[in-house]
Amino acid sequence: MKNRVIFVVLSLLSLMFSVSMYTDWRGYDHGLFYWGQALLPLDLPRHWMGLLGTEYESVLLYNIPDGLWMFALCAMILAVWGMSEMYNVGIWLFLALMSGVILEIFQNAGLVPGTFDWFDIYAYFIALGCIVFLSQIQNKLQWKNG
């Protein structure tokens, strides 16, 4: 049970942080995301963003939130399925990853509104890799502790 709680907390923190990046750092003033700014205000002065450089600013503002959303989804999948049924978990994680990749491909084809970006796809794979790595660490700790 403790394993599942950890992944729920990771998922919620990841989701809150990514939404806050949209609301505070991008100035995305939309009613849907207003609660993100209220829950976790992360005001980053605009002149700090200028210090990062244009290419890094783009990754920070656009690609990292997408990766965090994928991380949140994958963490929640682990929270729901637990670690006992790794085959089923693997199928759901694969479906989550492919959903993100397919949406990017659809954006490129103009079938879905949005902007195609290879770095979004990289962020999805990195997010999945991070969650698999964390789950493996958790498995080893659980096995070691009995």
Q: Return the DSSP state at 10.
A: H
pTM: 0.80
Domain ranges, ordered by start, for the chain:
2-144
pLDDT for res 95: 95
Residue 47: pLDDT above 60?
no
pLDDT for res 17: 82
Q: What does the alpha-carbon distance between residue 46 and residue 107 come to, in Å, rounded to a whole number?
A: 29
Q: What does the alpha-carbon distance between residue 53 and residue 131 come to, in Å, rounded to a whole number?
A: 29
Cβ neighbours of 104 (radius 10 Å) = 20
